[in-house]
Structure 1
Amino acid sequence: MKPPTIILRESIWHIRKRVPVRCASVEPRSIAHVSLHTDSRAIASMKAPQVWAELI
């Protein structure tokens, strides 16, 4: 599985990932944006896979 993309929105890092088709019945968005609650890119890179795994 491809790791989630991290993007900077305002001054906080977020993950952006396409929502899998199998999850479409419970998640109406086609693209999920989730805050990583950090302004550090290094910390965001470490947190992103774990946060995404918790969502799916």
Structure 2
Amino acid sequence: MFYRKPLEERIAERVAKRPPLKEGKHFEHRPALIVFCVIIAIALVKVAGAFVLMYYDVF
């Protein structure tokens, strides 16, 4: 009565409808690029902070 396709099949159908990714493009949509940049920025701030702490001999 309330039959729905499994989640995997619904996702596969949705992915099949999308156009192919353009050549040279790494991210499918803008939010993925923003999340990636935020993660890289956080990692860089952590490394820079560790160097600052080592410079001032806090460790």
TM-score (norm. length: structure 2)? 0.24
Q: What TM-score do the two structures reach when normalised by structure 1?
A: 0.25
Name the structure with the higher helix share. Answer: 2
Relative contact order higher in (CA < 8 Å, ≥ 6 apart): 1
* Structure possessing the higher radius of gyration over alpha carbons: 2
